[in-house]
Amino acid sequence: MYEKEEYFLNVIKEYRKKRHMNQEEVARRMNMARTTYQAIESGRNRLKVEDFAHIVNILEIPIYEFEEGDRYQLILSKDDVTNWLKVLTKFQKMVEVIDNKKDVDITIKDKRRL
């Protein structure tokens, strides 16, 4: 495990406890088994970018927690970058379609939090 990943996992664990949530609650909101979430939080399973983003959203972790000086640090694999580009492309197309309609209030919500 990289030093940065260990730092991120420690922040996640700290905020989970600060929010008075157990691993079961976070796992349920992520639609995964507690044992899978536990393996992520302990560093036994690799922290995927999409899981990281979902956890940060669930625990409402401020982005400044991941700052280092004047930049943000995330170690991304080639697969992570490819997956995020696909997600962002789909998102951009969805926003363009919505934006083309007149008098539409655009509100973006995470469906998993509803």
- The domain locations on the chain are 3-113
Span 95-104, pLDDT tens digits: 555 555 555 4
Closest CA to 41 of 3, 14, 81: 14
Question: Considering only the top CATH level, what class is 3-113?
Answer: mainly alpha
Question: In the chain, pLDDT over 90 holds for what percent of residues?
Answer: 33
Asked whether the whole model's pTM tops 0.75, one would answer no
Span 41-81, pLDDT tens digits: 999 998 888 888 889 889 999 877 876 544 445 556 667 66
The pLDDT confidence band at residue 28, using thresholds 50, 70 and 90, is very high
pLDDT of residue 114: 46
Burial of 94 (0-12, 13-18, 19+ CB in 10 A): exposed
